[in-house]
Amino acid sequence: MGKSENTHKMTIRLSPITEFRLERDYRLDGSRSKNEFIEKAITHYQDLLEAEQNEMLPAAIQSAIDGRLGMFEDRLARLLYKLSVEMDMGISAVLDCIQLDADYLRKLRSDSVKHVKATNGLLTFEQKVRERPDDEDGDDQWPD
Protein backbone atom coordinates (compact mmCIF):
# COMPACT_ATOMS: atom_id res chain seq x y z
CA MET A 1 0.00 0.00 0.00
CA GLY A 2 3.04 2.26 0.15
CA LYS A 3 3.73 5.24 2.35
CA SER A 4 1.42 8.20 2.09
CA GLU A 5 0.65 11.39 3.92
CA ASN A 6 -2.72 9.88 4.90
CA THR A 7 -1.24 6.98 6.93
CA HIS A 8 -0.45 6.90 10.63
CA LYS A 9 2.38 5.04 12.27
CA MET A 10 1.39 2.47 14.91
CA THR A 11 3.40 0.15 17.07
CA ILE A 12 1.97 -3.32 17.60
CA ARG A 13 3.05 -6.19 19.77
CA LEU A 14 2.73 -9.70 18.37
CA SER A 15 3.15 -13.08 19.98
CA PRO A 16 6.08 -15.08 18.59
CA ILE A 17 3.78 -17.47 16.72
CA THR A 18 1.82 -14.58 15.12
CA GLU A 19 5.08 -12.86 14.17
CA PHE A 20 6.35 -16.13 12.64
CA ARG A 21 3.11 -16.56 10.67
CA LEU A 22 3.24 -12.94 9.49
CA GLU A 23 6.82 -13.37 8.30
CA ARG A 24 5.91 -16.61 6.55
CA ASP A 25 2.59 -15.53 4.96
CA TYR A 26 2.77 -11.91 3.88
CA ARG A 27 4.20 -12.77 0.46
CA LEU A 28 1.67 -15.59 -0.16
CA ASP A 29 -1.21 -13.21 -0.85
CA GLY A 30 0.91 -10.91 -3.01
CA SER A 31 1.54 -8.25 -0.37
CA ARG A 32 4.69 -6.21 -0.95
CA SER A 33 5.24 -5.63 2.75
CA LYS A 34 4.20 -6.89 6.17
CA ASN A 35 2.44 -3.56 6.71
CA GLU A 36 0.31 -4.09 3.58
CA PHE A 37 -0.51 -7.64 4.72
CA ILE A 38 -1.55 -6.42 8.19
CA GLU A 39 -3.72 -3.67 6.72
CA LYS A 40 -5.44 -6.19 4.39
CA ALA A 41 -5.99 -8.56 7.32
CA ILE A 42 -7.52 -5.82 9.46
CA THR A 43 -9.79 -4.69 6.63
CA HIS A 44 -10.90 -8.28 6.01
CA TYR A 45 -11.68 -8.81 9.68
CA GLN A 46 -13.58 -5.52 9.87
CA ASP A 47 -15.67 -6.56 6.87
CA LEU A 48 -16.53 -9.80 8.67
CA LEU A 49 -17.54 -7.94 11.82
CA GLU A 50 -19.70 -5.50 9.86
CA ALA A 51 -21.37 -8.39 8.05
CA GLU A 52 -22.25 -10.04 11.36
CA GLN A 53 -23.51 -6.82 12.94
CA ASN A 54 -25.40 -5.32 10.02
CA GLU A 55 -26.36 -8.51 8.23
CA MET A 56 -24.78 -7.00 5.14
CA LEU A 57 -22.27 -8.52 2.77
CA PRO A 58 -18.59 -7.71 3.13
CA ALA A 59 -17.36 -5.14 0.60
CA ALA A 60 -15.36 -7.69 -1.43
CA ILE A 61 -18.35 -10.04 -1.80
CA GLN A 62 -20.72 -7.16 -2.59
CA SER A 63 -18.29 -5.89 -5.21
CA ALA A 64 -18.07 -9.33 -6.83
CA ILE A 65 -21.86 -9.68 -6.88
CA ASP A 66 -22.25 -6.19 -8.36
CA GLY A 67 -19.72 -7.06 -11.06
CA ARG A 68 -21.52 -10.28 -12.01
CA LEU A 69 -24.91 -8.53 -12.00
CA GLY A 70 -23.48 -5.81 -14.24
CA MET A 71 -22.27 -8.45 -16.70
CA PHE A 72 -25.69 -10.13 -16.59
CA GLU A 73 -27.45 -6.81 -17.16
CA ASP A 74 -25.24 -6.04 -20.17
CA ARG A 75 -25.87 -9.48 -21.69
CA LEU A 76 -29.61 -9.21 -21.10
CA ALA A 77 -29.69 -5.76 -22.69
CA ARG A 78 -27.87 -7.08 -25.79
CA LEU A 79 -30.27 -10.03 -26.07
CA LEU A 80 -33.33 -7.79 -25.68
CA TYR A 81 -31.96 -5.49 -28.38
CA LYS A 82 -31.48 -8.42 -30.76
CA LEU A 83 -34.98 -9.70 -29.95
CA SER A 84 -36.46 -6.25 -30.62
CA VAL A 85 -34.74 -6.11 -34.02
CA GLU A 86 -36.12 -9.56 -34.93
CA MET A 87 -39.59 -8.60 -33.73
CA ASP A 88 -39.52 -5.39 -35.74
CA MET A 89 -38.54 -7.35 -38.83
CA GLY A 90 -41.41 -9.82 -38.28
CA ILE A 91 -43.98 -7.11 -37.67
CA SER A 92 -42.78 -5.20 -40.73
CA ALA A 93 -43.04 -8.33 -42.91
CA VAL A 94 -46.60 -9.05 -41.71
CA LEU A 95 -47.69 -5.45 -42.25
CA ASP A 96 -46.25 -5.50 -45.77
CA CYS A 97 -48.59 -8.42 -46.54
CA ILE A 98 -51.84 -7.23 -44.95
CA GLN A 99 -53.63 -3.94 -44.39
CA LEU A 100 -54.87 -3.22 -40.86
CA ASP A 101 -56.83 -0.17 -39.74
CA ALA A 102 -55.93 1.88 -36.67
CA ASP A 103 -59.10 0.92 -34.72
CA TYR A 104 -58.34 -2.79 -35.06
CA LEU A 105 -54.75 -2.25 -33.87
CA ARG A 106 -55.92 -0.26 -30.80
CA LYS A 107 -58.34 -3.06 -29.82
CA LEU A 108 -55.66 -5.68 -30.44
CA ARG A 109 -53.19 -3.77 -28.22
CA SER A 110 -55.79 -3.39 -25.46
CA ASP A 111 -56.61 -7.10 -25.55
CA SER A 112 -52.93 -8.03 -25.57
CA VAL A 113 -52.20 -5.85 -22.53
CA LYS A 114 -55.08 -7.53 -20.64
CA HIS A 115 -53.85 -11.02 -21.57
CA VAL A 116 -50.25 -10.30 -20.58
CA LYS A 117 -51.33 -8.81 -17.24
CA ALA A 118 -53.67 -11.74 -16.55
CA THR A 119 -50.92 -14.30 -17.20
CA ASN A 120 -48.10 -12.27 -15.62
CA GLY A 121 -46.31 -12.33 -18.97
CA LEU A 122 -46.33 -16.13 -19.28
CA LEU A 123 -48.62 -16.28 -22.29
CA THR A 124 -48.13 -19.04 -24.88
CA PHE A 125 -49.53 -19.74 -28.33
CA GLU A 126 -51.25 -22.84 -26.98
CA GLN A 127 -53.11 -20.77 -24.37
CA LYS A 128 -54.23 -18.32 -27.03
CA VAL A 129 -55.56 -21.16 -29.24
CA ARG A 130 -57.50 -22.70 -26.33
CA GLU A 131 -59.11 -19.34 -25.56
CA ARG A 132 -60.33 -18.84 -29.14
CA PRO A 133 -63.82 -19.98 -30.09
CA ASP A 134 -63.94 -23.22 -32.11
CA ASP A 135 -64.15 -23.10 -35.91
CA GLU A 136 -67.53 -23.62 -37.50
CA ASP A 137 -66.50 -27.07 -38.75
CA GLY A 138 -65.12 -28.03 -35.33
CA ASP A 139 -61.55 -28.56 -36.59
CA ASP A 140 -58.90 -28.00 -34.00
CA GLN A 141 -56.01 -25.97 -35.39
CA TRP A 142 -53.45 -27.44 -32.98
CA PRO A 143 -52.89 -31.13 -32.35
CA ASP A 144 -52.85 -32.12 -28.67
Model confidence at 139: pLDDT above 90: no
Q: How far apart (Å, rounded) are the C-alpha atoms in residues 138 and 123?
A: 24
pLDDT given for residue 56 in this prediction:
66
Amino acid at 102: A
pLDDT tens across 32-59, in order?
A: 999 999 999 999 888 888 777 766 666 7
pLDDT tens across 85-114, in order?
A: 999 999 889 888 988 888 988 998 898 888
